[in-house]
Amino acid sequence: MIFNKVFHFFRGKTRKRNRVLSLLLCIVIVACILLLIYGLKSDAVWETIVGSFLAVFCTSIFLPILSNFLANLEDSEKVSCDTKTLLSTYKYDPSYLKTLTLNGEKTTFLYHPLIAPNEASHLSFKVADKNENNFELTDLIANSASQLFSAHLNSEKAFEDMVRLDDYQVNEGVATFYTSRTNYFNHLLTNRAADYQIDNSFSLRDIYEHGPLISPLSKSKFSNHIGLNALVITADGYLFVPRRSITATISKNKVTSSIACGLQAGDISGINFDGDFLTRDVIFTKMFKRLPLKKELIKLADVDIHFLGCGQNIYEAGKPQFYYAIRLKNVNVNNVKNYVNKSNDQGKIDIDRKLYLIKMDDIKFMREEKIVLPGYLFKQNELRPLKHPVKVRFERSFIVNYWYYQETKNH
């Protein structure tokens, strides 16, 4: 697809800047050569030079707009965020439809809780892990791998081993998570391409998750690695809000939970992979991977971690997500810059391009797909007030995370 090639060529702020500068340099060189050959009085030469500069100028303005358009187009082709259409697909369970209200404005979303708000505090947790078991693609998915993988042409990819959630059961107040292994490649071919049209005729959701209910984890044909989402909140009620890069595998240019990532096999290597780790320790470790916080200044005793619950992401065809809230007891808006590094290494997958600090009481919805964020922007380790509130699209899991937090807080 020609649009994909254009996007791939110009993606990334640094790459776009370098491309434009290269074009300008070429024009200057060609202009000098033409002037030497034809002289300063040639109208055709000056028309060519002026026209070329105007073309580059227009390109530099419209490229970001084109990049954002193509990014949103790719995401919508891979995973549908159309709540109304998906609700009709899973019409036998209207309980999937949830509502979140912020400052009088509301949005609706789809979600299937396994552990609903306020249930986690009444449960103890254990993990039954089988690291020797590896998820296998169905024949249909394996045979369509090339097409499905092409859905992610404009996304940065890395092929890492992930922890899969095979099943979840509760017995006498004990919740057991049954886990195995999968990899990010499988994820890109299944959950993250659930609505991509194969042969322009059908999608994986049409075949495997057509309703009327989302498949239980034990029967799902998708990769289903565990997703981790957490709201990280300062002592005075400010929320860290990242904004994804335009090369993320999903939610391009959207805001997400403070921590939004997957549980990798490397995260549990050499540790006791038990219920305490999955509901507490792992998200503390991931906080320093996803946010530029100074690990040497924030210890486990300096934070309050609450496991809010977990469930299945309807938009990504039943992918399991775990939700948390983390309060930094010693960090506030006045001293936060002392706890923040200039940068951090997030790896290759789903990196963030901006980081905001937003007063939670001031967040509101603009409409179903957008949220208004007044507050601050981090520039390296400096905190700068936003001149105007940011109006931006949001990832659905961010809204689910906020819903869990609000429901638990109001209980």
Q: What is the pLDDT along the chain (411 residues), one digit of tens a residue?
A: 444 444 444 444 434 445 555 655 666 666 566 556 655 555 555 556 555 555 555 555 544 544 555 555 688 899 999 998 998 899 877 889 999 999 999 999 999 999 999 999 999 999 999 999 999 999 999 999 999 999 998 888 888 999 999 999 999 999 999 999 999 999 999 999 999 999 999 999 999 999 999 999 999 999 999 999 999 999 999 999 999 988 888 888 999 999 999 999 999 998 999 999 999 999 999 999 999 999 999 999 999 999 999 999 999 999 999 999 999 999 999 999 999 987 777 777 778 889 999 999 999 998 768 999 999 999 877 899 999 999 999 999 999 999 999 999 876
Measure the N-to-C terminal CA separation of the chain; round to a whole number of Å: 51
Closest CA to 401 of 249, 181, 239: 239
Determine the Cα–Cα distance for residues 397 and 353; give it in Å rounded to an integer.
Answer: 18
Is 61 buried (19+), middle (13-18) or exposed (0-12) by CB count in 10 A? exposed
Strand partners, 282: none
Residue 310 tokens read as 């977990």
The pTM is what?
0.84
Residue 161 tokens read as 């081993």
Map residue 122 onto helix, strand or coil: helix
Closest CA to 280 of 233, 319, 344, 230: 230
Determine the Cα–Cα distance for residues 303 and 410; give it in Å rounded to an integer.
Answer: 21
> For residue 363, which phi and psi values (nearest 5 degrees)?
-75, 140
Helix, strand, coil: what percent of the chain each, to 5?
40, 30, 30
Contact 128, 234 (CB under 8 A): no
Contact 353, 67 (CB under 8 A): no
Determine the Cα–Cα distance for residues 124 and 307; give it in Å rounded to an integer.
Answer: 11
Within a 10 A sphere around the Cβ of 248, how many other Cβ atoms?
24
Residue 193 tokens read as 């391409």
Contact 162, 265 (CB under 8 A): yes
The DSSP letter of residue 202 is: B
Contact 72, 252 (CB under 8 A): yes
